Structure 1
Amino acid sequence: MGDTVENMKNEQKKVRIWFTVIAISLACALSFSVWRAHDSVYLRPVYVRKMFAYMPYRIEYLLSRTLPAHAAEIPARAFAQEVPVLLYHGIVEEPDGANVLQRDFADQLFALKQAGYATVTLADFEAFLDGTKTLPDRSVVLTFDDGRKDSFYPVDPVLHALNYTAVQFVITNYSLGKDNEESPFYLSVAELKALQKTGRWEIASHSKAAHDFYAINEHGEEGHFLSNALWIPSENRYETSSEYMLRIYEDLRGARDNLKTALGVETNSFAFPFGDFGRAGTNLSGSEQLLLHVVGKIYKRAYYQTWGSDGETHNRAGEGLLVRRINVSPLWSGDDLVRALEAGRTKDLLYSGEQANDHDWQRLWGDISVAAENLHLQAPSDGDSAAAFLNGSTMWSNYEIDAHATVLAGTSFSVIARFKNGRNYVVCNFTEDATTVDEHIQGVIRSIAAHIPGNLSKGEHEFSMQVYNNRIACILDGEKIMSVMLVSPDLLSGGIGFKTGSRVNGESHAVVRSVYVRGI
């Protein structure tokens, strides 16, 4: 017994000696590192904290692997038919109404991982868009705008724990300029290089100086750099279209060149500041077309935030220059985010509204809500209509829509088909005065046919619409009102939606109680 105790004491002594040797060695190594690289980003307290944050996230994820309920209901496919791109800015410790809290961000990414989502690189994603590469089902791209410190330090430990990757869209004037080392807000060159070395991050362009506001008229009113002609006070005039295009070209090309010079990054990807390419108001006629022309000369892909009238939230092969991004709400839980992504998956063409989740119906305009599987459409006090679109339905082609709805107020109810976005779709428009078929092409409305008188009244109705090749049929309460031929060849596929309207602002309200769609 005495020998055993003595042996234990000797072993404990050896452990203490080895522990002391290791501690001294680590202290010496740290001191040497500080002496050799006293200004290294890796030794900054915020970076050290980030390194130690990885393991708790990893342990928490492994201990909390419970599948979000909604994701389990939708089976996986062999390959992705669509890929969502998520947009974040800062990840913050205190609520600010705009950015996601650090705790909520971790919950969101844990939920994505548990639901089977995996991140992909820009190269793989853009090859998917080109149609040259297949991706696993539930692929997703994570993006962060502005090159902010609070989009790297709180984020990287979570990416590390989940084996995820992400993209930083950097404003080069802020991160690569001469004063960038002193910025308390934007990542410096040294920090961006450290970010690159993790292997978890890619860097792309968010412009050079286009993220500021500039004078756009003689009164000093300010607007977005990319979508407006600037005011030249010394000459008391606006830029010409040629001057506008040259300014845009020099900024966007300059940002791309800066990234290559400072960081060795060669990028074909650009994110519009504020997600705006002329849709938030402009003082220059045709600025959207001019801007997209210039952007396409420099970059292969241009990323923007989806707005209500954009319709679809996800991206599919063959869609061209513009890439949609989902701006993640600071109010979303992890399960909310999963539901939003699941809603954008391509839906089967045998659809019942009972299958819907509360993110399926995308607001186009007006006030939209979903409660107890009922879709409510109500015009706001300053508008005469409201409309919603079924996310994930744009790949549909030939089908019949049957909907039961209650018209509570207003003078019209419309069934939307072949919906591509808020500017391109066809509609059966039921009113008190007439039933019409209207084509919307690039925002221009063309009435194809009308049947007078109309049969719409307040109360319960069954609204139906059939689309087969270029033939459209409008049906109300089981009676076929008309069957006509489409004029435009551009509306041979697309999704579904509903619209309610009135001649008076704020006096339109309908409730869609059931929806059934089948292929024909």
Structure 2
Amino acid sequence: MNHKETRDIRVLALGDDRFSKRKNLRKRLRVMAEIAVVALLLFILYDLFYSLDTYKPYNHDEVAAGDTDTGFVALSYFGVDHIGDTSTLIGQKQLYKQLQELKKQGFVTITQQDIKDYYQQGRPLPQKALYLMFEDGRRDTAIFAQPILEKLNYKASMMSYGENVESMDLKFLKPSELEELEDSTYWELGTNGYRLEYINVFDRYHNYIGEIDPLRYAMLTPYLERNYNHYLMDYIRDKNGVPKESYGHMKRRISYDYEKLKDVYTSELGKVPGTYVHMHGNTGKFANNNAVSAVNEKWIRELFPMAFNREGYCFNQRNSSIYDLTRMEPQPYWPINHLLMRIKYDINTPIDFVSGDASRQDAWNLLAGAAEIENETYTLTTLPEGEAVAEVRESSSLPDVKLSTKLMGNAFGAQQIFLRSDSNRENCLCVELINDQLVVFEKHGGARRDLYQEKIPVILGETISSVEEKKKEAEVQENLTFARYAKTKEQAEEYYGRAKKREEMPAASIADGAEPYDHVQSFHRRGDHQLDIDLKGGRLKIRLDGKEVPQPIEVTENGQGSIFLGASWQGEAWSQRNLADDVYDAVFDKFTITTNTGKDKEKVLFTTELSGWNKLLFQTGELWDKVLFWFLRNA
């Protein structure tokens, strides 16, 4: 071996050694981080199941019967996790913020026994009585909700499905854990039924799918609307709506679920839970069909002392049956004022809205709705089926401006910016994102003139699919879904074959003259768009997510005027849950106004962005949440 080869080997060995040291260091750091996360979770679990605190109920002797039936509010959260980054699970901080505010405004939690006494004995409830539920019996819900209940001295019912209680799925609480929750005194037990399953399912293209479980439902949700039913709510029907089962078979099928529910809870917990949530309600009875309703009603009255048979509204009074209670399901994206607005107009009782940073609210003149400023975000919450409007104070002398903000309200609804506006917005220029479109209009003496309107996907250069292409996509995915969860290899191969065959079939595009895909938006779909406005003289330039609107928009030069922000509810959206949400939130993040002189650096006239120490604290908190989120998802 020559000298050069020896030197190369030494260099390689040294490189390998350095690489190994770096690799081992990364491994040690990762292991230490994972140990820290596991230790934190173990501590939370220990604190959850071995807390020494106990729930202290309200003093019944201090509640006097009055002339007015104040009833009670029922809220039902689907579940809780740490961050709240899903479409169904609320974050721990957001849940605490909501319940803390209800506590501050005098809401007192009541129990199942309180509800029974209210209906059966005529016993009065506290003026602001709250019945709190968490659905699905999720383990993460117990972990993250328990500390909040303890801190606020609130009590809740943990709902569960009998099928999940006896399953091996660790996502759901098991019998011993449910008993420990009940022993903590902060929880009671309820049930959503034995199983969560869907029947008579059609996709949005009217293709018959049939019966699906939650796993298939989750994969097919993008292709469904409201044309399906819950397992207990109807006969099982074919594609023509004709029952595929006799009355006797339907009765045995539904009765089996209640009998199974009774057996599971009785054998595992020694009793049937005291509250039942009938999935999915709002039929005016106990099913869509009278015969099916009669079977459900018989079992519900036999097994349970009370039942929630409606959803959407939160207020219950004595004029409704204890077997026809209603609950509201707050969504993870609801700002605090959305919840308060819904409750206020359901119970028709004064409620204070949350303004956030009071010192920074002085820069705004709220004219309608509710407004909160938190960190760098200004949120407007509409009145039910109405609007919210706020004026930027001292903005009346700004004819030419540049404006930027990130609009984070839901896609269905209107987030508006009014420029050069008079006090009544009868003369103004308006830029709005409404129902997934960018719209520009101006008003003169109240008369509206539209200047620009385009779908946001078109502006962003996204490919617009045709109805045929979307239908093909749905049919391929439906077959792949059934293949994935097929019971036999032969069935899986059959569905895979169908998916492949459909994939190979052509579908006409818009370029071929096919109809564009343009279905009604769900009001749950989130929005997130950066909007930049450049207004100077009679010319308006707009950038959306970095994309310029093709041509400058010619506007009328009507002199100076104020800047207003607006939110407007739109009434044509659909939802697969919570059918009666009539409130909308416009969310303006980092809202900034500058001069428009043409200089490289314009003067900031107004901004919701933080600065200095407050900015550093906010960014540090955001970074910590991102790091924790990463470990929770990847550890």
TM-score between both structures, scaled by the size of structure 1: 0.49
Q: When you count helix as a share of all residues, which structure comes out higher? A: 2
TM-score between both structures, scaled by the size of structure 2: 0.41
